[in-house]
Amino acid sequence: MHERIPWLEDAAREGPWLVAVSGGADSLALLHFLAGAGFEGLVVCHLNHQLRGAESAADARFVAELASRLGLDCEMGEVDVPAAMRESGDSMETAARKARLVFFARCAVKRGCERVILAHHADDQAETVLWNLLRGSHGVRGMRVRQRIEVDAGDGQRVCLDMHRPLLEVRHSELVAWLLERGLTWREDASNLEPVAVRNRLRHEAMPLLADITGRDPAAALARAAADAADLADWIDQLLDQAEILDPQGRLHLRALGALHPILRRAALKRYLAGHRVPDITRALIDRATALLDPGNPAVVNLPGGRLLRRRAARIWIDG
Amino acid sequence: MHERIPWLEDAAREGPWLVAVSGGADSLALLHFLAGAGFEGLVVCHLNHQLRGAESAADARFVAELASRLGLDCEMGEVDVPAAMRESGDSMETAARKARLVFFARCAVKRGCERVILAHHADDQAETVLWNLLRGSHGVRGMRVRQRIEVDAGDGQRVCLDMHRPLLEVRHSELVAWLLERGLTWREDASNLEPVAVRNRLRHEAMPLLADITGRDPAAALARAAADAADLADWIDQLLDQAEILDPQGRLHLRALGALHPILRRAALKRYLAGHRVPDITRALIDRATALLDPGNPAVVNLPGGRLLRRRAARIWIDG
């Protein structure tokens, strides 16, 4: 499996490392693999989503016992996802994802470790790509092997998390085979913590249908497209770094923006908005922001979240 | 409909123009629209694929009568697709596509006109994108509004065709609505000349399922992704034009190639191979070609079709 995990080349073996472990095959394979590959200071982090009653409790016990058996530290958390959904109005997927991030943030503070390793694999990646593509606005876009995110740990404290997804090129079937070869066990349904309509239907209906229609494995093609798209995004980031589009106050130079190819210009605006934590950055928003470059257009664009993007004195910046 | 057809801005109204007309709604809308938009010298080109017996003959009569009624010239052709499939071993889709290209090439020679207008629309584009994506190797790639191709007209004569697809941003439903508003008729099944397993199943099974799962219109998102991918391809072409990677003999400079970002390098190799009419340019082939840049690797790569790609004297080129 090593050759499918280029992440291994650069990853420091010294801990601590937070490892997200649901108890399902994917995260169990991840945990055993990391332990076998010489990673030290692994902290097993398990969040009980309480979505499957006694089964969820049994998952938690299974994970805690395994950590103890492997001599690893363990962080156990609980969240009442249905209650969180009622409170926030979020979908189950969103509520569960937010709860996991807060849990990881708390583990990070407690352990003084911002590095989190997740078991997302090539089949997860393929579903993500298809979903992003079909939602529009984003083209091919998958999860990244490395991703830094800022999370509110719940008490107003903002915590940076450094997420690692070493298994993005490994298939779920390979992880299961790897466990079986070693006689390792897992909790069958623990990784299906999210019986979420869209993702589950993409996995169980769309992928098999697409495989049947095309006679090919859609997951492999989609995961590779995501890897190519990530390469492209990295390259565009490099080009933007070189383009000197920001003034010393961090505002966008109108002239420098205007000189960019439209593709780079859109990427620059997207990066600027994302860097200022503007939510819901759609293609339509980028198009409205782009229109600011034309002095014939109004000099202000409303941003989601209530702030304004302004054009003044040959600059564009976020007000408020 | 005009605002959805940016092609109109640049397209010369003077003829001749070859227009591919099956008799179905899409090509009928195209023909009536072009006539109404002031295009002159339209030559209606209809190829009877003989796949639907008497119905195919009736399609041909319908198209010929319409052309006559509109006062337009007409080119009618016939091809026995099942016989062509038996002879070549091609799938129905491939055999029909080849037959159409040969037919257009002959029309082009006869009429002294290499411009062909096709009725492909946004839903066709979405299916193409999904199919290309799932086949792997290509990421998001759709049909282009303009495309030059070289076709063997059947007698060894190579003919350049300049294909135009003005309707790529227009939905099939819009074309039907446009015809209905004007009381114009069409042959219901004539555009389904290709009862081809993959494309038909993408249209009738995959697209509705994806729409149902995501609650969104997958065709719109896929067609937009294709438009973005086309912009990206154009930009990369521009960058390659500026990169001075060819020597005066048209061979690739090893050093110039090596200095490119891997994304541009792959694009440069792909363009070089495509420009030399190498068939079946897969990602795996590009990766093998890229390996030529490493002096530690063998200096020759076998190409599909029997030619060789060689590294020698700080150049890479096709031998034979």
- Taking only the tens place, the pLDDT of each residue in B157-190 is 899 999 999 999 999 999 999 999 999 999 987 6
| pLDDT for position A282 | 85
Q: What is the pLDDT of residue B12?
A: 95
Note the pLDDT of residue A228: 87
pLDDT above 60: residue A22? yes
Interface test mutation site (partner A, options B93, B130, B133, max chain A beta carbons within 10 A): B133
Which residue's structure tokens are 């990853």? A11
- Does B316 touch chain A if contact means CB atoms closer than 8 Å? no
DSSP string, B93-131: HHHHHHHHHHHHHHHHHHHT--EEE----HHHHHHHHHH
Per-residue pLDDT at B193: 47
Distance of alpha carbon A190 from the chain centroid? 20
CB B197 within 8 A of CB A215: no
- The token pair at B276 is 């030399």
Nearest one of B143, B124, B166 to B37, comparing CA atoms: B166
pLDDT band at A192 (very low <50, low <70, confident <90, very high): low
* pLDDT at residue B91 is higher than 70: yes
- Yes or no: say if B82 and B136 are a contact pair by the CB < 8 Å rule: no
Does A74 touch chain B if contact means CB atoms closer than 8 Å? no
For the cut 50, the answer to whether the pLDDT of residue A193 exceeds it is no
Residue A200 sits at the chain B interface (C-beta within 8 Å): no
B113–chain A Cβ distance below 8 A for any pair: no
Question: Which pLDDT belongs to residue B153?
Answer: 81
Q: Which residues of A101-113 are buried (b: 16+ CB within 10 A; e: fewer)?
A: bbbbbbbbeebeb
Instruction: Give the count of Cβ contacts less than 8 A between chain A and B.
Output: 91
- CA torsion angle A238 A244 A247 A252 (round to 10): -70
Judged against a pLDDT cut of 60, whether residue A210 lies above it is answered with yes
Sheet with A158-164, strands from edge to edge, namely A73-78, A42-48, A17-20, A115-117, A158-164, A146-152
**Mean pLDDT along residues A140-169:** 91
What would the pLDDT profile of A64-82 be if each residue is shown by its tens digit? 999 999 999 999 999 998 8
Mean pLDDT of A284-297: 93
Query: What whole-number distance in Å separates Cα of residue A90 and Cα of residue A106?
Result: 21
Residue B196 has pLDDT above 70, yes or no: no
- Name the DSSP class of A251: P
Q: CA-CA distance, B273 to B165, in Å (whole number)?
A: 25
User: Which secondary-structure segment (H or E) carries A74?
Assistant: strand A73-78
Average pLDDT on A220-226 reads 89
Task: Count CA atoms within 13 Å of residue A97 on its CB side.
Answer: 8
Please give the structure tokens belonging to residue B90.
């091609």
Minimum mean pLDDT among A100-114, A294-308, B123-137, B206-220: which range? B123-137
Quote the tokens at residue A31. 């945990």
| Contact status of A44 with chain B (Cβ, < 8 Å) | no
**CA neighbor of A138 nearest in space, from A253, A207, A202, A233:** A233
Q: What is the DSSP letter of B251?
A: P
A197 contacts: CB under 8 Å, gap ≥ 6: B213
Q: Does A283 touch chain B (CB under 8 A)?
A: yes
Helix (H, G, I), strand (E, B) or coil at A306: coil
Please give the pLDDT value at position A191.
Answer: 57
**Exposed e or buried b per residue across A117-142, where buried means at least 16 C-beta atoms within 10 angstroms of its C-beta:** bbbbbbbbbbbbbbbbbbbbbbbbbb
Distance from the A264 Cα atom to the nearest Cα atom in chain B, whole angstroms = 10
- Is pLDDT above 60 for A61? yes
Interface-testing mutation among A213, A228, A236, with chain B (most B C-beta atoms within 10 A)? A213
Q: What is the pLDDT of residue A20?
A: 97
What pLDDT, on the 0 to 100 scale, is given for residue A196? 61
Give dist(CA B75, CA B67) in Å, integer.
10
Q: How far is A288 from chain B (nearest CA, A)?
A: 17
Apex B288 CA angle, B284 and B294, nearest 5: 145
Residue A314 token pair: 């040959």
B209–A214: do the CB atoms touch at under 8 Å?
A: no
CB distance from B261 to chain A under 8 Å?
A: yes
- In this complex, do B133 and A283 lie within 8 Å of one another by their Cβ atoms? no
Partner residue opposite A228 with nearest CB, options B134, B139, B201: B139
d(CA B69, CA A50) in angstroms, rounded, equals 71
Q: What is the pTM of this model?
A: 0.84
- CB contacts of A283 in chain B (<8 Å) are 224
pLDDT of B279 above 80 = yes
Tens of pLDDT along A125-151?
999 999 888 887 667 889 999 999 999
Three-point CA angle A147, A116, A61, nearest 5°: 145
A positions 119-148 inside 8 Å of B (CB): 130-131, 133-137, 139-140
pLDDT value, residue A200: 83
Q: A206 vs B201: CB contact, 8 Å cut-off?
A: no
Chain A CA closest to residue B211: A134
Least confident window among A88-97, B56-65, B118-127, B133-142:
B133-142
Q: Is the pLDDT of residue B116 over 70?
A: yes
Give the pLDDT band of residue B49 (cuts 50, 70, 90).
confident
